[in-house]
Amino acid sequence: MAKGLFSQCLCLLTDGRTAIGDVRAALEGQGFDGIKLAKPQKDWRHGGPTLVVPFLPDVNGYAAIDLVDQPWPDDMADAEADLKTFAAWEKGHFGPLAYSGGLARAGEHSAWESGRVVAAVHSGFIRMRTSYVFGTKGDQPVAPKNYNPLAELQFLSRAVLAVLEVPGVICYFNPNGEVLRDLAGFRDEWEAGQKQKKIPLRLWTNVRFFNLNDKFVFMDTVGNGQLDLRDVEAVLPKGKHNLGDIDQYLRHLTNYLLRLGRKIKTGEEIDGPGEKNKSWTTDLTKDGTFAPPRRVVRVFPKDRREAAQEALAAVRPG
């Protein structure tokens, strides 16, 4: 999928008893003005009862915040099993970068322990999607000239923060970054970012760990596409680095890409984790090693290039 009808999507999973009036009251209580209530779509996949919230109204920027009394449709890429869900997913209704199995992967790689079972206990969700095409004709651009994905994510995150305490809300789910966070964890991460004047990447993107073989491990990010960046994969010798340091390193590389001001290239020399000697290098690829499909920049030690590529080829032939 790609950004189009919708440009961002953040969610809150619920137990099914959340009311749209409570969501509206929570938003208005935190300073969100000009909210309008729209009727639900005929198909819940396209939108339940919806609050239309101004974001950048001068460029037709709005957030559609809707309430769905259905579990998150995680198996969304099977047209034969469920054509309606497949079609809605293709159009970006579940997030422009969401992919089938995203909630399951978010639980599997969740730093929040209860996130591993939350998919089984939720029965609904609040969906928050930004768009610039509501009410427009098909020949108009899907994003404004000075499009700013970071501003969108910050706006929707503030909306999430406003709605956290609404009755029935269980947890936060970012389908584009495959992130699950408990309510207190979301608030703490947001407030820490505000205090330190840093973007809260851990609320928008996930970092995952895999064993490749007895010599190499692998860590990657999911969700950088929300910021119009490539995700990052790191292939590194087993036991040489602290995994927490590699987590920080991947966040650092994401921030580096955000500030770079140009597209990174294959073969660029970069500093390795905790180093200043440009001992690592980059490879660009159109698809990541593990799901979901996405563009990535792969990084690894220059002196281990061949061995790292062999380890990757073993888990992903061809």
Q: Where are the beta strands (DSSP E) in the chain?
A: 8-14, 36-38, 50-56, 61-68, 124-131, 169-174, 179-181, 206-211, 216-222, 231-237, 269-270, 280-285, 296-301
Q: Where are the alpha helices (DSSP H) in the chain?
A: 20-29, 83-90, 102-108, 118-121, 149-163, 183-196, 201-204, 243-260, 305-315
**The dihedral of CA 214, 220, 222, 225: what is its sign?**
negative
For 224-269, write each residue's pLDDT tens digit.
Answer: 999 999 999 999 999 988 999 999 999 999 999 999 999 999 999 9
Question: Three-state SS for 183?
Answer: helix
**Tell me, what's the pLDDT at 111?**
87
**Tell me, what's the pLDDT at 300?**
95
**Tell me, what's the pLDDT at 183?**
96
Distance between CA 6 and CA 224 in Å, rounded? 16
Distance between CA 115 and CA 252 in Å, rounded? 25
What tokens does 27 get? 């938003």
**Tell me, what's the pLDDT at 136?**
80
For 140-170, write each residue's pLDDT tens digit.
Answer: 668 899 999 999 999 999 999 999 999 999 9
**Tell me, what's the pLDDT at 145?**
92
**Tell me, what's the pLDDT at 122?**
97
**Tell me, what's the pLDDT at 135?**
84
**Tell me, what's the pLDDT at 142?**
81
**Tell me, what's the pLDDT at 193?**
96
Low-confidence ranges of the chain (pLDDT < 50): none
